[in-house]
Structure 1
Amino acid sequence: MKYLIGGFVVLVLVLALAGVVYQAIATARDLEKYSPPGKLVDVGGYQLHLNCQGEGSPTVVMDYGLGGMSLVWSWIQPEIASLTRVCTYDRAGYGWSDPSPHPRTSQQMVQELYGLLKNSGIEAPYLLVGHSLGGLNLRLFASQYPNEVAGLILVDAVPANVYSRLPAFQKSMANTQRLFSTLSVISRIGLLRLLIQLRGTEVAPDFVKQLPLEIQPIILAKFLPQTFDTAIAENQLMATSAEQVSQTELPNDLPLVVLSHGVNMFDDLPQEQAKQAELTWQELQAEIANLSSNSDLKIAEQSGHNIHIDQPQLVVNTIRQAIDRFRQT
């Protein structure tokens, strides 16, 4: 019996090793197949990927949510590039960017983004557009560099006080953490890569399926252990990030637009809890809008949390209006 168990253990180890090798080979192949659309810029011993398109001022700078990458703005960036310069980037550990040796807090991510822009010669003024965690980051950016910010557009951004006001959010993030932990393991041994190879975009998350067809395989190729480990690290410190932001203030007259989803994103909860959680989220979004006397709150009636994917034209129009207002002042 012990020989049978021993043989089974050896078989499992051999298969796991084969999976690791397969993952490494496939990753190397994808690096050759999918080159970065932008450039890699040193920010202090590691490189971040920055993709700027178009010309003009202000420069639109976009940041995405937990577990994403720069390509999630693929419906938005080309349209804005016809109006002005627009830059997307991969936070450290995502997309084509190197991992960072520093804790993944909003403060650290803002510091890296600011260094990335300056080291690339991308000067202010910046019109900041941030989704979810990216919105939390760019809210902090706007508070720390107010003289360099032309405006702030928050796309269903994580509120700074969400952990104290909305327990359902914390529960949702705990579930997300377990998902990323599982994906980290199965991606390491090549199982996720094999599944994607066999089934393609059939196994992709809904938000990936809604992006341009030519973008979908690139995002799936970036479903790497490093990606999930980065998401885990950011999620672990999101409460710290929220606390960092809560201790700052936006300029009272900062041009601010808050976009909030219209389709309940807490539908995994019992009906009454989901209804209450949604009401609280909308209250928090309204409170963010009240942080500036020069603000506007819009509800994306047809969107869940990913407004920039569900209703990209709404985001494009909002950015266009912000650019026009800036140029008229």
Structure 2
Amino acid sequence: MIYLKFDKWTKHIIEIIGFPFTLTNKYINRKRQINEIGQRIKVEDKFIHAIVYGKSDASYTVILDAGLSCCSLDWHYIQPQLSDFAKVLSFDRAGYGWSSTVNTPYTSEDVVADLIHILKELQLKPPYILVGHSFGGLNMRLFASKYPEQVAALILIDAIHEKRYLSNEWDSVRKKSHKKNLNLFRFGYLTSGIGLPKLLKQPVGRKYLPEPYQKYIDYIGYHPKSYEAVYKEFLYSEESALQVKSSKALSTDLPVVILSSNNADPTWVEHQGLLSQLTQNTRQIKTNHQHSIHLENPDLIIETIKELMN
């Protein structure tokens, strides 16, 4: 927390020194501003943006949680099609998309607490099918652990295993990689107020999405709060990993599907194997796709969800 306070002061100083750039960046952000697709729900001292599709009488509610740096727009291929046979919720974690920021650390526990509030507010009833991509997999696993009676199935799309963010599990290569990424996210956060990441064309999340979504990306992808969100999420990723590690084991009969990419890194392959042992009712689907399987092959995700419903 002290580290983040120091960064906030540093960011503020940079914005004062580069005052003309700060004003220009604010003007551009205001000019690009576009209203949210869904609705913003009051959760304690913040607003969380959520998108809901589907019929109210659907038997299942599908919850979609995107990966690190990504938001609800990640599910634009999948959510509309899922709504034909289920109630579907996608949302932006604090700071991402159209959700407001928080002044405290934001971890998987906070995501789950916000999600429970949203589900009650929108009257989205269980059973829930949880779908988590990458970092979102940690959040969905924690949800399934805390509320097993409400969860019908869990789908992890090339998801992170908690060991990836536990520093005592790292070798020298992983330590170097983590430090590099942390410094990159920190640089983006510190300079986001003066618009440097925008000048370098380095948005948070996806650079390109098909129309009509690109205009949304051009706004939220370069907004300073998005850079703050991804930096804080990565900064406190070990805390989130520890929360998942210390949580109760999933119900042994819970249906779980692991969708794995073609990542040949030995550690990644090992972690996907560990995820495939989460329950006695877990199966792994190995694909030839890269990390964002839900964007490369949305039909695979849709069919997997349909199978679990049946």
User: Which TM bucket (shorter chain)?
Assistant: 0.7 to 0.9
- Number of aligned positions between the proteins: 290
For residue 229 of structure 1, what is the amino acid of its counterpart? E
- Give the drift of 1:165: 4.2
* Aligned position for 1:275: none
- 2:184 maps to 1:179: yes
In structure 2, the gaps of 5 or more residues are 1-13
For 1:83 and 1:13, the matched residues in 2 are separated by: 49
Q: What TM-score comes out, normalization by structure 1 length? A: 0.81
**Mapped contact 2:69–2:205 kept (Cα < 8 A):** no
Paired position in structure 2 for 1:246: 245
Match of 1:137 in 2: 139
Deviations 1:61-91 (A, max 9, x none): 0111111111011111111112211110000
1:65 has 2:52 as partner: no
Task: Give the distance between the partners of 1:259 and 1:204, measured in 2 at CA.
Answer: 27
In structure 2, relative to structure 1, the CA distance for the partners of 1:27 and 1:161 (3 Å cut) is: same
2:274 is the counterpart of 1:287: yes
8 A contact 2:63–2:88 mirrored in 1: yes
Q: What corresponds to 2:229 in structure 1?
A: 230
Distance 1:64 1:54, change over 3 A: same
**Structure 1 position 208 matched with structure 2 position 225:** no
In structure 1, the gaps of 5 or more residues are 1-11, 197-202, 265-277, 325-329
Deviation at 1:37, TM superposition (A): 1.0
Distance 1:282 1:119, change over 3 A: same
Q: Give the deviation of 1:18 after TM superposition.
A: 1.6
Residue 297 (structure 1) aligns with: 284
Shift of the 171–312 alpha-carbon distance from structure 1 to 2, 3 Å rule, reads farther
Equivalent in the alignment of 1:106: 108
Equivalent AA in structure 2 for residue 282 of structure 1: V
C-alpha distance in 2 between matches for 1:156 and 1:130: 9
Match of 2:298 in 1: 312
1:49 match: secondary structure: strand
Q: Which amino acid aligns with 1:220?
A: D
Q: Which of 137, 141, 153 is the equivalent residue of 1:151? A: 153
Q: Secondary structure at the match of 2:162?
A: coil
Percent identity, aligned pairs only? Answer: 33
**Is 2:32–2:218's contact at 8 Å kept on the other side of the alignment?**
no
- Asked whether the 8 Å contact 2:204–2:230 carries over to 1, the reply is no
**Residues 1:13 and 1:105: Cα distance change in structure 2 (over 3 Å):** closer
Q: Distance in 2 between matches of 1:280 and 1:181?
A: 26
C-alpha displacement of 1:183 = 2.1
2:82 to 61, 71, 80: 80
Higher Rg of the two aligned structures: 1
- The residue number in structure 2 matching 1:47 is 47
TM-score between the two structures when normalised by the length of structure 2? 0.86
How many angstroms apart in 2 are the aligned matches of 1:207 and 1:87?
20
Instruction: Give the distance between the partners of 1:105 and 1:191, measured in 2 at CA.
Output: 27
Q: 1:14 to 1:51 in 2, by over 3 A?
A: closer
SS in 2 for 1:208: coil
Letter in 2 for 1:299: K
> Residues 7-65 of structure 1, C-alpha deviation per residue, up to 9 Å, x if partnerless?
xxxxx99982121111212222233xx21111111111211001001121211001111
Q: Secondary structure at the match of 1:52?
A: strand
**In structure 2, C-alpha distance between the alignment counterparts of 1:105 and 1:207, rounded to whole Å:** 22
1:36–1:320 CA distance, 2 compared to 1 (3 A): same
Q: Is the 8 A contact 2:189 2:231 kept in 1?
A: no
Which whole-Å CA distance do the structure 2 matches of 1:258 and 1:13 have between them?
44
Deviation at 1:143, TM superposition (A): 0.3
Change (3 A) 1:146 1:50: same
1:171 deviates by: 3.7
Question: 2:256 & 2:15 partners in 1: Cα distance?
Answer: 54
Matched, 1:323 2:309: yes
Q: Quick one: distance in 1 between partners of 2:286 and 2:25?
A: 42
Residue 7 of structure 1 corresponds to none
| Structure 1 residues 208 and 316: CA distance shift in structure 2, 3 A | farther
Given that 1:92 and 1:98 are in contact with CA atoms closer than 8 Å, whether structure 2 keeps it comes out as: yes
Conserved 8 A contact 1:259-1:297: yes
